[in-house]
Amino acid sequence: MEEKERLRVLELFSGIGGMHYALKESSIPAEVVAAVDVNTTANEIYKHNFPSTQLLSKTIEGMTLQDFDELAFDMILMSPPCQPFTRIGLQGDVADPRAKSFLYILELLPRLRKHPRFILLENVKGFETSAAREALIQTLRQCDYRFQEFLISPTSLGIPNSRLRYFLIAKKAPESFSFLVSEEILESFPSSESSKSLAAIDDHSKTSVSEKEKLGTIMFKLETEEEFERKRNQDSQESVRRLQDFLEEEDVHMDQYQLADKTLLRYALLMDIVQPSSRRSVCFTKGYGHYVEGTGSVLQCSADVELESAFKSLELLSQEDKLQRLLQLKLRYFTPREIANLMGFPQDFSFPKHTSIKQQYRVLGNSLNVQVVSRLISLLSSN
């Protein structure tokens, strides 16, 4: 792409602006000519951070073909609703009403006066086996696009957070990619051998552990041997940064993030507990801070207490003694700013003052990793 060109970018399902930040991070000459989203809270946050960008607070279906044509965009960035495809949801796929807006885009794309040169889409793992994905591929081929699919996690970039996501980048022919396109879904960035091994640790890597380690470390929590081995392998990856690089300064405002006593007593065995020195954390979801199980890691702030000793024979203690043992760990939730750091949002990203902590967790859980998308935008725009 020539330096003098300035791409006109349309950001659909814009949320809190993760795609916009990724575009800025990529440093390609571009301007977001319009962002579209129907979520009121997300739109307030987007407008707070990008006050000069045209933000259309409406459904995608509320836009006509003429509306799209008048924007004269060169690139579409989009992250359609993931609920129809998520592995823990109902997996309604194209029958889910929340997939309607995405299907509308696929209907309009062939009819546009001018097809965009570039398309980037993000969604959850699971989208790659959906009927919606099949409809997308069919539409891209119909419109003569070349494309590449990916399943990428931030660990590929040395970021200590597992967030495996589906991505697709597409170029309008006759433009071609700067790498060899494959019909396979790539699990690493092209020409980056190290990424392959890092991406793999999110889901299926295994490491051998001694019988002593199994008995001493696995059995004190409700954790399978496979889960333990995967986490142990992640923590051994020196090419992944430590969580401490992403944390805020410990000060008085951290009190509000401490886990409640009743939460400790009820969910202690189910929590994913990490330390500042850890090189991993599990995916943060929109329920973080409200629900405990499966929504994200919690941070152990007490460096002088061994996790194993805190959980040893815990079930034999009275409720009061059990609580005192767990309190020694000084467990807290990650702050919204820390999660934003792990998701690659820059330091100048912020929330309006009236945005509640619960709302901040919710919109971050629905967002994407800025650094991963930035790398993909760079791949998409390079010749």
Tokens at 161, concatenated: 């957070």
Is the torsion defined by CA of 41, 46, 49, 53 positive or negative? Answer: negative
Query: HSE of 188 in the Cβ direction (CA atoms, 13 Å)?
Result: 14
E strands present in the chain: 7-12, 30-36, 55-56, 75-78, 118-124, 145-152, 165-172, 273-274, 298-300, 331-333
Residue 184 per-residue DSSP state: S
Residues marked active site are found at 82
Determine the longest span between alpha carbons in the chain, in angstroms: 71
Place of tokens 């202690």: 268
Contact between 196 and 187 (Cβ < 8 Å): yes
For 166, 168, 202, the CA distances from 185, given in Å and listed in that order, are 9, 9, 16
With H, G, I as helix, E, B as strand and everything else as coil, classify residue 108: helix
Which of 121, 175, 123 has the alpha carbon at shortest distance from 146? 175
For 4, 171, 258, 321, 328, the CA distances from 324, given in Å and listed in that order, are 64, 58, 14, 5, 7
Residue 156 burial class via C-beta count within 10 angstroms: exposed 0-12, middle 13-18, buried 19 and up: buried
